[in-house]
Chain A
Amino acid sequence: DADVTQTPRNRITKTGKRIMLECSQTKGHDRMYWYRQDPGLGLRLIYYSFDVKDINKGEISDGYSVSRQAQAKFSLSLESAIPNQTALYFCATSDFTGGRIDNEQFFGPGTRLTVL
């Protein structure tokens, strides 16, 4: 079974709709991240969370919100989807071993979102 899973894998929606993307992990990691990928722009961080009570904005958080329901679950919501939010969305996790700088993240398979 995959360590990091995302649902749905593909979604087509209309402008103005509310969308939720879900991420679950079995790696036991505390840190979870949501990224957006657009062609030629690499991965851009939307939100990240270090534990259930710790949520932080990334570089492109406008128009998005998140919920960390449990250590293993981190959801991304688009309250009112717009066409320029069409992109590939990745969830990732990482471990933290007391002072060591994170240098490896584990990614889910991605969700391809199209907003018409």
Chain B
Amino acid sequence: GQSLEQPSEVTAVEGAIVQINCTYQTSGFYGLSWYQQHDGGAPTFLSYNGLDGLEETGRFSSFLSRSDSYGYLLLQELQMKDSASYFCAVPHSSASKIIFGSGTRLSIRP
């Protein structure tokens, strides 16, 4: 089977840096994605790591270590608008669908 684990909640201060971790168990691995979802909104794609290493997109970066079955999303210079839930996701072993983690709710304090 496939499963993903990520913390349910994380709290950080505006302007700081926060890291949201994700560990996964899959039979066959194709890559790790991250999605953001604001309260009442739809999930939106943030990033994808198919290979080990760091991918940077503005204030957001995503890291993958396939040997450790581990990845993280790094958010820098936190803004209040970054308060949202963040989901890691992996393609199913059949490559036909995506399996989502339960999500990490990020709360940002002024």
User: Could you say which of B10-18, B42-50, B72-80 contacts chain A?
Assistant: B42-50
The number of chain B residues with a CB under 8 A from chain A is 22
The reply on B100 being an interface residue by CB < 8 A is yes
In contact, A103 and B43 (Cβ under 8 angstroms)? no
Known: A40-B102, A43-B87, A108-B42. Contact between A103 and B33, CB under 8 A? yes
In contact, A42 and B102 (Cβ under 8 angstroms)? yes
A6 to chain B, nearest CB (A): 9
Question: Which residue of chain B lies nearest to A103 when distances are taken between CB atoms in the complex?
Answer: B48
The reply on A33 being an interface residue by CB < 8 A is yes
A interface footprint on B46-69 (CB within 8 Å = 1, 0 otherwise): 001010000000000000000000
The reply on B71 being an interface residue by CB < 8 A is no
In contact, B102 and A101 (Cβ under 8 angstroms)? no
Count: A-B pairs, CB below 8 Å: 55
- Main secondary structure on A side of the interface with B: loop
With a cutoff of 8 Å between Cβ atoms, the chain A residues found around residue B41 in the complex are 109-110
B21 to chain A, nearest CB (A): 16
Known: A42-B103, A43-B87. Contact between A102 and B42, CB under 8 A? no
Q: Which residues does A use to contact B, with CB under 8 Å?
A: 33, 40-45, 48, 50, 56, 58, 90, 101-110
- Leading 4 A-B pairs by shortest Cβ distance: A107-B42, A42-B102, A103-B48, A101-B30
